[in-house]
Structures are given as structure tokens and as C-alpha cells.
Amino acid sequence: MVKKYGIVIISHSADLAYSVHQIIQEVARDVAITHAGGTDDGKIGTSFEKVSTAFETNEADHIYAFYDLGSAKMNIETIMEISDKEILLFDVPILEGAYATAAQLQMDESIAVINKNLETIIVK
């Protein structure tokens, strides 16, 4: 069963990406969630291959993407250009944005409301 909306977490730290995934999964058991973090050799940073895989393996056709720092965002933006999936990217704190979105997706909140809520927490 393909899930319409999902979440991808991208971090410079594999541990952070995994931990955010674990936290949001507690409130969103039915939401497709994937994550990627760290470099290919296990260090702090990002890996385009890992980021790409996180999006490819997510069962959803429409994905909310959350990230921690600049190069993680750049990887997401590159995926946005080449992916067939719709990727929704908001500049919000990674945990708060992902958690609020996951909870709202779990309760079948409208996408318009979710997007409006994310726009209100954008960091300027």
C-alpha cells in the first residue's frame, strides 16, 4: 500500500537522523518515515547517495523533508530537481517541524493546514 504523504529526515549526524526518526515514529505509526545522516565513511556531514536512498525508499509519493544544516538542504534541493516525487521543504527546526508534521499526518489533517502551520514556525 503506497502512503500518500511521508517524511524524510536529513542530518549531518547519523545518530541525530535516527533519533528524530524514532521520536516522530512514536506519534505517527502509519506515516512513511525514512532518514539519512552522516557521510559514507560514518563521519559528520552529508552523503548525496544516502539522501537519495532515503527519498527513493520512502513509500510516499509526496514527502515532507526536514534537515539540520546547509549542505543537507542542498542535497534535498538537488533531489527535488530529479525526483518524480513531490518534495515539500520548509525552513523549520528539524525536530519540531518533523514532529508537528508527523502528528498531523497521522491524524489526517489537511495538507493546507499542515503547510500553514509549518509556515508559522519558519525561522527567519
Residue 21 is among the residues annotated as catalytic for this protein: no
What does the alpha-carbon distance between residue 106 and residue 17 come to, in Å, rounded to a whole number?
20
99 grid coordinates: 514532529
Q: Which residues are catalytic?
A: 12
